[in-house]
Amino acid sequence: MTHPNSSAAPVLSVRHLKIDLHGGAQTLVHDLSFDVRPGEFLAVVGESGSGKTMAARAILQLLPPGIAQSGGQIVFDGEDLSTRDVKAMRPIRGPGIGMVFQEPMVSLNPVHRIGEQMAEGLRMHTKLSAAEIRARCLDMLRRVQIADPERCLHAYPHEFSGGMRQRIMLASVMLLKPHLLIADEPTTALDTLSQREVLDLMVGLAKDQGTAVLLITHNLGLVGRYAQRAIVLEKGKLVETGDVPAILVDPKQPYTRKLVDALPRRQAAKPAPAAPQQPLVQVRGLCVSYPGARAGFFKRHAPVQVIDQLDLDIHPGEMVALVGGSGSGKTTLGRAILRLAPSHAGQILFRGDDVRRADRAALHRFRLACQLVFQDPFSSLDPRMRVQEIVAEPLRHLPALDAAARGKRVHETLDEVGLDGLGARYPHELSGGQRQRVAIARALVRRPAFVVADEPVSALDMTIQAQVLRLFQSLQAHHGFACLFISHDLAAVEQIADRVVVMERGRIVEQGPRDAVFDQPSHAYTQALLAATPRPLASLAESVPRPSEKVFA
């Protein structure tokens, strides 16, 4: 692959950048050097704590208090930015270097209209008249495919979804035609479909305006799809730098290899059970609706149908993946099956008994056989309890176990999830991945027959995701529970699922064995989801033929 302008002077040239915490107590970035060439799409890859965000903030001289650049140069447009003071940076921020942040929900000011926020930059950096500014804003909003841009200018940020807000953010940054755009995990908070929209628009706009893009991400899939070059950071050090197909297909450094290996891979399908079994969970005609918004003191709008006449079977020992974009109702379905959310019609049969109409005792028996693993490992554990207490808690409903047997079971389970010896810790003393292991241990300690896992790995780093997925898979193989695995990440689903169920707006649009759904998706929505999922290894395998294992075909 050849790069346009690969011989031209770089837009940004970082030399021996060093960033310290509290005057040298800890070094966050060591001796980092890289160039960004005009018009190129460069990815900065690394896990949490690798210093990638700090490096990006240093470029804009936006380091948080207590953290400072202690060495090196950041040369932009022939001048070292680190010698500029706050006032001298102002003409650079915006027209020189633009930045898109990770969290679209908080990066727009909620009390100002979109139009005012977009116009701010142009008013400050150009001498355009109000009418011209308005025209440019409208133009740009159209460019990022916001429907009805006129209305958008007068709307407030809360009226838009996360993906739309990120597009608006992108529009207001690109209005100033920066030479360099820094995007710090711009789509991590979005679902697969919005992620694709935002990044495709970003690439298109950058190409139109000749902007170079520095994309900071932990997602190698995005790197493979969008970037021309990548640099890999580990604990603040530059580990590897290289052109994109090569660095993913044939990484030179062990750390890069580890990141690439963490990409989800499809594994051989389990042999189907010989005799058809009675399903463990049968959902029949389930409906869930939320009460409508208040329309007056006594009146409400019509209820919103979240789950609509839904049927689903889950067999014993089966791993069923439930996929869909944000708002498709997949989380609500999981919670409704467990009766954590109320449902309004239909049946939920567990081993033949209707759970929806169960009385207290029957519901208690049902709960004893079921468990839930939450998405956010930071809020699903009681901060005041030690790990061993958290894991032991479900056992208090098993009177057959005495104290010694309980202790033994807790110990065994912690051992199984790889948390041996951490029982006396509090949740805040653990990392995200370890916390999610605690949550899994809590769910499995009672040997449930059915587990609902709601996005259990989406809050974790790529390598940790891979570890937790593998752990989950091996535990499932060992204990043989049935599992409803809810996820918007088709890559993870491909690795783990036996059967895939695709949901759109409260209905199942397609379901079938994993290989069938992934290889021959029949419904348009499934096809769109699959197309939006970055599949780095597969797409690269076409350009660089290489006898690798079948990954994400």
Partner 1 sequence: MKKLKTHTLVGGVLIGVLLVLALVAALWTPYNPLGIDLRGKLQPPSAAHWLGTDEFGRDVASRAMRAASTSCLIALLTVALATAVGLVVGVLAGFVRGWTDRVLMAFNDTLLAFPGLLLALGVMVIVGANQWGIVLALSMAYAPSVVRVVRGTVLSLREREYVEASRMIGNGEIYTMWRHILPNCVAPVAVLATSMFGWVLLSESALSFLGLGVPPPAPTWGNMLSSARPYMASAVWLCLVPGLCIALTLLGINLLGESLRDRLDPRTEKS
**For residues 103 and 393, which CB has a smaller minimum distance to partner 1 in the complex?**
393
Give yes or no for residue 31 binding partner 1 (CB under 8 A): no
User: x/- string (CB under 8 A) for partner 1, residues 407-426?
Assistant: -------------------x
- Alpha-carbon span 412 to 417, nearest angstrom: 9
Closest by alpha carbon to 549, among 346, 253, 249, 273?
A: 249
> Tokens for 467?
């570890």
Number of residues written out for the chain: 553
Stretch of 239-247, 318-326, 377-385, 541-549 lying at the interface with partner 1 (CB under 8 A): 377-385
Window 301 to 340, contacts with partner 1 (CB under 8 A): 338, 340
**For residues 229 and 446, which CB has a smaller minimum distance to partner 1 in the complex?**
446
Give yes or no for residue 383 binding partner 1 (CB under 8 A): yes
Give yes or no for residue 165 binding partner 1 (CB under 8 A): no
- Alpha-carbon span 457 to 492, nearest angstrom: 9
Question: DSSP letter string over 395-442?
Answer: GGG-TTS-HHHHHHHHHHHHHHTT-TT-TTS-GGGS-HHHHHHHHHHH
Stretch of 188-196, 259-267, 393-401, 531-539 lying at the interface with partner 1 (CB under 8 A): 393-401
Q: Tell the smallest beta-carbon distance from residue 376 to partner 1 (Å).
A: 6
Give yes or no for residue 511 binding partner 1 (CB under 8 A): no
Question: DSSP letter string over 216-242?
Answer: EES-HHHHHHH-SEEEEEETTEEEEEE
Give the pairing type, strands 237-243 and 229-234: antiparallel
Stretch of 50-58, 156-164, 366-374, 400-408 lying at the interface with partner 1 (CB under 8 A): 366-374
Q: Which of 203, 368, 422, 538 binds partner 1 (CB under 8 A)?
A: 368
Total interface residues for partner 1 by CB under 8 A: 26
Please check whether residue 485 is in contact with residue 440, taking contact to mean a CB–CB distance below 8 angstroms. Answer: no
Q: Tell the smallest beta-carbon distance from residue 426 to partner 1 (Å).
A: 5
**For residues 112 and 364, which CB has a smaller minimum distance to partner 1 in the complex?**
364
Give the pairing type, strands 212-217 and 41-45: parallel
**For residues 30 and 367, which CB has a smaller minimum distance to partner 1 in the complex?**
367
Window 440 to 459, contacts with partner 1 (CB under 8 A): 442, 446
Q: Which of 18, 229, 330, 367 binds partner 1 (CB under 8 A)?
A: 367
Q: Tell the smallest beta-carbon distance from residue 387 to partner 1 (Å).
A: 12
Q: Tell the smallest beta-carbon distance from residue 337 to partner 1 (Å).
A: 12
- Share in percent of the chain as helix, strand, coil (round to 5): 40, 25, 35
Closest by alpha carbon to 428, among 460, 458, 387?
A: 387
Q: Which of 61, 371, 388, 436 binds partner 1 (CB under 8 A)?
A: 371
Match 């699922």 to its residue by tokens: 497
**For residues 26 and 379, which CB has a smaller minimum distance to partner 1 in the complex?**
379
Please check whether residue 176 is in contact with residue 94, taking contact to mean a CB–CB distance below 8 angstroms. Answer: yes
Give yes or no for residue 300 binding partner 1 (CB under 8 A): no
Give yes or no for residue 384 binding partner 1 (CB under 8 A): yes
Output the CA–CA distances (angstroms, integers) from residue 462 to 90, 128, 195, 304, 381, in the order listed: 36, 45, 17, 35, 22
Give yes or no for residue 353 binding partner 1 (CB under 8 A): no
> Tokens for 355?
């759970």
98-103-105 Cα angle (round to 5): 110
Give yes or no for residue 158 binding partner 1 (CB under 8 A): no
Stretch of 13-21, 46-54, 381-389, 535-543 lying at the interface with partner 1 (CB under 8 A): 381-389
- Alpha-carbon span 141 to 144, nearest angstrom: 5
- Alpha-carbon span 141 to 157, nearest angstrom: 14
Q: Tell the smallest beta-carbon distance from residue 361 to partner 1 (Å).
A: 11
Which positions touch partner 1 (CB under 8 A)? 338, 340, 364, 367-368, 370-372, 374, 376, 379-384, 393-394, 396-397, 426, 428-429, 439, 442, 446
